[in-house]
């Protein structure tokens, strides 16, 4: 795996870093020792770890280098409290066979929208990429059992609005930078996490153990109880997650393999989508080796037939690569 910028040797996805010993008994104790990273602070972090400081005269270069290196040293020595990206926490559909749903927390701080050109993810395993969206490793996955599907649906409709937070540190002393599949990123070691439902303040999942947070009744406006036994109104996720895209596109990937079997032409295609809030495709284009060929038309048939999960985002654009050989 290549690195860039300063002398950086992160081993994300190759050699997992051993978990640090942690004496903190609760998430709150861990978070109390960490400094808060706002979105603007994240941009500053990226600058401190990547700035070349090669512009201007010698004085300007020296001043830039001193500021950059001092800040980078502080970043590498500290622990940081940061919000996970919306969509990092997801809940599967109810399984009648096992009478449960699966809860998954992905290590995403910036998976959909890079910060300063860097995707920011957990170092638990190397991320993959679905077009221009990073698919980060799962930080925690578990199941939650219910007596019946109705109970699961009512709980899920409220819990899907949960917020996720991490306590992190830069993955290694060299800076945590990596490059994979043509994308640049920053790897963070996640020391603790908390997922909570803001309306009631209840903890959905946490490590170390976390106490309930103060309820935010303003957040309850997104979940309104219906009059007739319909349960709460559905709260749609903010946007499509990498997992949503990957799951929806599985039939397209399978169909592309069938198209290759039929026509025997290897190559690469890039599928560009725009999807509306209802999950319907509003714009589609295929570019690459198969455009205007029998193989391409075969792929298009499957690619145009999928429907994505509904979200709050009115329009969401992304690309999805297809490679067959």
Q: Which of 17-26, 118-127, 137-146, 162-171 has the weakest average pLDDT?
A: 17-26
Is position 2 within any domain? no
Domain boundary among 222, 238, 263: 222
Mean pLDDT for the chain overall: 84
Residue range 240-254, pLDDT digits in tens: 888 889 888 888 998
Whether 105 contacts 241, CB under 8 Å:
no
Whether 245 contacts 308, CB under 8 Å:
yes
Q: Which of 15-24, 99-108, 109-118, 220-229 has the weakest average pLDDT?
A: 15-24
Domain boundary among 152, 187, 222: 222
Is position 15 within any domain? no
Residue range 65-104, pLDDT digits in tens: 999 999 989 888 899 999 999 889 999 999 999 999 999 9
Distance of CA 194 to CAs 80, 101, 243, 259, 325, Å? 14, 19, 20, 44, 43
Is position 48 within any domain? yes
- The domain total for the chain is 2
**By residue range, what is the domain housing residue 290?**
249-324
Q: Are residues 63 and 155 in the same domain?
A: yes
Predicted TM-score (pTM) of the model is 0.63
Task: Considering only CA atoms, give the Rg of the chain.
Answer: 22
């Amino acid at each position: 795996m290549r690195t860039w910028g300063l002398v950086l040797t992160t081993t994300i996805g190759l050699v997992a870093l051993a978990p640090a010993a942690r004496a903190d008994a609760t998430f709150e104790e861990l978070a109390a020792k960490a400094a808060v990273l706002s979105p603007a602070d994240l941009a500053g972090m990226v600058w401190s770890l990547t700035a070349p400081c090669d512009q201007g005269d010698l004085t300007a270069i020296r001043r830039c280098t001193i500021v950059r290196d001092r800040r980078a040293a502080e970043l590498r020595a500290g622990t940081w409290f940061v919000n996970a990206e919306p969509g990092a926490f997801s809940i599967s559909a109810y399984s009648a066979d096992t009478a449960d749903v699966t809860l998954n927390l992905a290590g995403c701080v910036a998976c959909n929208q890079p910060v300063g050109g860097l995707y920011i993810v957990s170092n638990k395993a190397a991320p993959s990429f679905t077009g221009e969206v990073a698919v980060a490793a799962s930080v925690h996955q578990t199941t939650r059992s219910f007596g019946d599907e109705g109970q699961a649906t009512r709980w899920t409709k409220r819990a899907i609005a949960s917020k996720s937070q991490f306590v992190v540190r830069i993955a290694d002393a060299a800076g945590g930078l990596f490059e994979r599949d043509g994308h640049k990123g920053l790897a963070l070691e996640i020391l603790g996490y908390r997922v909570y439902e803001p309306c009631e303040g209840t903890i959905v999942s946490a490590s170390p153990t976390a106490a309930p947070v103060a309820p935010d009744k303003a957040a309850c406006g997104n979940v309104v109880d219906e009059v007739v036994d319909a349960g709460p109104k559905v709260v749609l996720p903010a946007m499509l997650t990498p997992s949503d895209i990957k799951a929806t596109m599985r039939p397209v990937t399978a169909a592309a393999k069938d198209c290759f079997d039929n026509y025997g032409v290897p190559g690469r295609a890039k599928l560009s989508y725009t999807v509306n809030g209802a999950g319907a495709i509003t714009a589609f284009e295929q570019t690459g080796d198969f455009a205007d060929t029998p193989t391409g038309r075969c792929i298009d048939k499957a690619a145009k037939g999928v429907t994505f999960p509904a979200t709050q985002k009115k329009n969401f654009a992304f690309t999805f690569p297809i490679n067959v050989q």
